[in-house]
C-alpha cells in the first residue's frame, strides 16, 4: 500500500480479446465539468502564479483537459455507471478489484443514449456563492449545442465496451494554484461542504503516461531533471498532457491558449479521443527521441491518481516499441525536443516491473505517476492482449 497513489479505473475486465483503444473510448467535453471558483480564490491563484513565474520564468500557462468523472457503459445497466475521482472505486494495492468495464453497448441507439447521458451536470448547492467558470486561464465557452447524431464517432458499430470520460477545461496556472497549493486541504473541505465534492474547486488536469516496452522486453524509465516543477531526481515513465490547443488546430481552428473553448470541440468529441491517444506517442517521441513509426498503438490500461498533488488523474497506457533497448538508449542520448526534462534513461526488465511493490528498493525512487502506471500494468497485464501493430 502506497499513500502516494491509487487506481481510479483499470481496464482489466475488458480482457485479452478487446483492447481498450480509441474505438472504445468517448471523451465528452462540457462546460459544467469545469472547476468551481470565486473572486477570492482567483486572486489567490493569480498571486501564486506571479510568485512561481518570478522564480521560474520559463513556466508556461497552457490549457489542459479537466477530468470530472467517467462512465462505464455496459448492457447490464439501464444507464451508464458514473464515477467521480472523489470516491475512487479501486485501491492502491497491486491487487486492484475488477471494475464493471465489461460487455458492451447493444447498438447505435444505445451509444447515443449514453453520450447524451454523459452530459448531465453536477447539481450545485442552492445557497452557494461559488460559480462554475468556463476556464480561469481566460478560456470562454460558446453556446454550441450537443453534437448532432451525425457528428458522433459511430465508426465502430461492433459490440464492445465503452468508457466515457467527462471533461472540462483547466490550465497549468489553476493547477499550481489549487492541486499544488499549500491550502489544498482547505479547498477540498470547501468543495465537500458546498458541493458535496472535495474536488470541485481543484484543477484536476488529466495527464498521460506510458509503460513503454522495447522489442527485447525492457521497460523504459527516465530520471527527471531537478529543473522540473515536480518529483525532480526521481524515476518516471514518459508522459505529459493531452493538449486542447492541438485539438483545436486539428479542427482547423488556430487560436491562442486564452481563446480555447469547449464549444470548439463539442461538435467533434472524437478529436479529443484522438489527441488523448496521440499525445502519449508525441511525449515519447519528444522525451525519449523515438520516432513515431517505431511505436505500437497505445492501449489504455486505466487512470491513476497522484495523491501528492491532491489526486491529480493520469491516463496510463501500454505501448510496444519495435526497437531494442540499446537502440533506444542511443536515440535518447542524441537528445529529443524535451531532452532537458530528464538526465538519464534506465531499463528494467518487464518481469521485474511485474513484481515491483512498496518493499522493492527501486520503489522509493519512482515518482507517483510511475508508481500508478506500474500498478495498472500489473493489474491489466497488457502483454496478454493481442499484439499491436506499429504506427
pLDDT (tens digit per residue) in 125-143: 333 344 444 444 444 333 3
Query: CA angle 230-96-160, nearest 5°?
Result: 100
Q: Domain extents for the chain?
A: 5-384
CA angle 93/341/324 to nearest 5° reads 70
Cell of 3: 499513500
Q: Which residue has the higher pLDDT, 119 or 200?
A: 200
Name the band, by pLDDT with cuts 50, 70 and 90, for residue 340: confident
CA dist 36 and 194 (Å) reads 10
CB of 219 within 8 A of CB of 201? Answer: no
Residue 265: how many CB atoms within 10 A of its CB? 27
pLDDT of residue 36: 96
Least Cα distance to 320 among 343, 347, 299 occurs for: 299
Judged against a pLDDT cut of 60, whether residue 283 lies above it is answered with yes
- Confidence label for 111 from pLDDT (cuts 50, 70 and 90): very low
Asked if 168 and 262 touch (Cβ cutoff 8 Å), the reply is yes
* pLDDT tier for residue 75 given thresholds of 50, 70 and 90: very low
- pLDDT > 80? residue 85: no
Q: How far is 289 from 149, CA to CA, in rounded Å? A: 40
Residue 157 has a pLDDT of 40
Average of per-residue pLDDT across 257-264 = 86
- Higher local confidence (pLDDT), 117 or 212: 212
Q: What is the rounded CA–CA span in Å between residue 57 and residue 47?
A: 15
The mean pLDDT value for 303-321 works out to 96
Q: Is the dihedral of CA 328, 389, 337, 139 positive or negative?
A: negative
Could you report the per-residue pLDDT of 183-230, keeping only the tens digit for each? 999 999 999 999 999 999 999 999 999 999 999 999 999 998 887 767
Instruction: Answer yes or no: is pLDDT of 327 > 50.
Output: yes
Number of Cβ atoms within 10 Å of the Cβ of 106: 11
Confidence tier at 182 by pLDDT (50, 70, 90):
very high
Across the chain, what does the average pLDDT equal? 79
**Does the structure show a pLDDT above 60 at 78?**
no
pLDDT of 144? 32
Q: Measure Cα distances from 44 to 195, 280, 296, 334 in Å.
A: 20, 32, 43, 42
pTM of the model: 0.82
Whether the Cβ atoms of residue 243 and residue 271 lie closer than 8 Å to each other: no
Higher pLDDT, 156 or 278: 278
What is the Cβ-side half-sphere exposure of residue 295, based on CA atoms within 13 angstroms? 26
The stretch 229-252 carries a mean pLDDT of: 90
Over the stretch 142-179, which tens digit does the pLDDT of each residue have? 333 333 333 334 344 455 567 889 999 999 999 999 99
pLDDT at 116 over 60: no
Considering only the C-alpha atoms of the chain, give the largest distance between any 2 of them, rounded to a whole number of Å: 61
H/E element, 71: strand 63-73
**What is the average pLDDT across 50-77?**
84
pLDDT at 232: 79
CB atoms within 10 A of CB 143: 6
Say whether domain 5-384 belongs to CATH 3.90.79.10: yes
**Cα–Cα distance between 348 and 364 in angstroms, integer?**
15
pLDDT of residue 151: 39
CB 203 within 8 A of CB 35: yes
| Counts of helices then strands in the chain (DSSP H, E) | 10, 14
Q: How many residues does the chain have?
A: 391
Q: State the pLDDT at residue 266.
A: 81
pLDDT > 90 fraction of the chain, expressed in percent and rounded: 56
pLDDT at 294: 98
C-alpha cell at 185: 486541504
Give per-residue pLDDT as tens, 3-51: 999 999 988 876 432 345 566 677 877 888 999 999 999 999 999 999 9
Amino acid at each position: 500500500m502506497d499513500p502516494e497513489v491509487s487506481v481510479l479505473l483499470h481496464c482489466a475486465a475488458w480482457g485479452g480479446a478487446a483492447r481498450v483503444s480509441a474505438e472504445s473510448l468517448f471523451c465528452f467535453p462540457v462546460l459544467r465539468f469545469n472547476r468551481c471558483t470565486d473572486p477570492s480564490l482567483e486572486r489567490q491563484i493569480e498571486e501564486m502564479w506571479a510568485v512561481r513565474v518570478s522564480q521560474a520564468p520559463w513556466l508556461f500557462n497552457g490549457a489542459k483537459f479537466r477530468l470530472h468523472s467517467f462512465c462505464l457503459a455496459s448492457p447490464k445497466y439501464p444507464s451508464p455507471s458514473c464515477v467521480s475521482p472523489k470516491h475512487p472505486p479501486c485501491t492502491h494495492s497491486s491487487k486492484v478489484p475488477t471494475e464493471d468495464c465489461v460487455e458492451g453497448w447493444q447498438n447505435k441507439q444505445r451509444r447515443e443514449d449514453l453520450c447524451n447521458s454523459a452530459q448531465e451536470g453536477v447539481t450545485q448547492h442552492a445557497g452557494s456563492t461559488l460559480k462554475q467558470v468556463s476556464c480561469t486561464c481566460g478560456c470562454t465557452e460558446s453556446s454550441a449545442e450537443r453534437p448532432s447524431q451525425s457528428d458522433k464517432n459511430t465508426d465502430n458499430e461492433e459490440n464492445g465496451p465503452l468508457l466515457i470520460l467527462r471533461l472540462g477545461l483547466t490550465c497549468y496556472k489553476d493547477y499550481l494554484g489549487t492541486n499544488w497549493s499549500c491550502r489544498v486541504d482547505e479547498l477540498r473541505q470547501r468543495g465537500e461542504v458546498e458541493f458535496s465534492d472535495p474536488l470541485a474547486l481543484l484543477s484536476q488536469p488529466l495527464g498521460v503516461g506510458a509503460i513503454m516496452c522495447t522489442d527485447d522486453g525492457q521497460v523504459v524509465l527516465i530520471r527527471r531533471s531537478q529543473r522540473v516543477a515536480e518529483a525532480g531526481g526521481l524515476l518516471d515513465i514518459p508522459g505529459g498532457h493531452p493538449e486542447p490547443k492541438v485539438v483545436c488546430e486539428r479542427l482547423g481552428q488556430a487560436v491562442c491558449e486564452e481563446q480555447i473553448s469547449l464549444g470548439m470541440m463539442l461538435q467533434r468529441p472524437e478529436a479529443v479521443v484522438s489527441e488523448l491517444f496521440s499525445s502519449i506517442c508525441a511525449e515519447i517521441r519528444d522525451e525519449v527521441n523515438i520516432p513515431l513509426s517505431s511505436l505500437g498503438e497505445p492501449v489504455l490500461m486505466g487512470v491513476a491518481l497522484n495523491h501528492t498533488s491532491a489526486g491529480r488523474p493520469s491516463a496510463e497506457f501500454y505501448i510496444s516499441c519495435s526497437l531494442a533497448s540499446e537502440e533506444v538508449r542511443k536515440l535518447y542520448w542524441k537528445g529529443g525536443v524535451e531532452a532537458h526534462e530528464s538526465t538519464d534513461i534506465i531499463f528494467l526488465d518487464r518481469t521485474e516491473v511485474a513484481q515491483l511493490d512498496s518493499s522493492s528498493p527501486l520503489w522509493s525512487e519512482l515518482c507517483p505517476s510511475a508508481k500508478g502506471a506500474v500498478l495498472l500494468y500489473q493489474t491489466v497485464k497488457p502483454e496478454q492482449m493481442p499484439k499491436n501493430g506499429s504506427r
